[in-house]
Amino acid sequence: MLHDIVGAKYIEDYKIELEFDDGNRGVIDFSKYLEKGGVFGKFKDLGFFRNFSVNEELGTLTWDYEIDVAPETLYADATGSGLPDWVEHSEESSANKRFHSDPQNATHFSGR
């Protein structure tokens, strides 16, 4: 079951306390996201990091309407409950995987 974030409070450094729609709360240390790079590189600016908001439509935290973290990830981290079974568990995000094309199995699209 997915749980939306309904409240968030900045604590210190890269720590934010989250409140979820089921009443659970927890503090997450977002400093680990600094190592991920990419869009999370913006977190190095603590002023930017502190300027988060709860996006009610998405049910999660967003930064400048361009950066967010999946609510199921935040819930698991904040409550220690673990990720839902349907979440792919891997060391490398699928967004970072490289795919190699196989010319024999490639699908070709026409521009028509």
Question: Can you give 35-86 as a three-state secondary structure string?
Answer: HHCHHHHHHHCHHHHHCEEEECCCCEEEECCCEECCHHHHHHHHHCCCCCCC
Please state which CATH number belongs to domain 5-81: 3.30.2020.10
At residue 89, the pLDDT reads: 58
33, 26, 95, 24: which is closest to 67 by C-alpha?
A: 33
Q: Is 34 helix (H, G, I), strand (E, B) or coil?
A: helix
At residue 82, the pLDDT reads: 82
Q: Global pTM?
A: 0.74
Question: What ranges do the domains of the chain cover?
Answer: 5-81
Tell how strand 67-68 and strand 15-20 pair up.
unpaired
List of the chain residues with pLDDT < 50 = 91-112
- 20 φ, ψ (degrees, to nearest 5): -110, 165
- Rounded CA-CA distance 4/58 in Å is 8
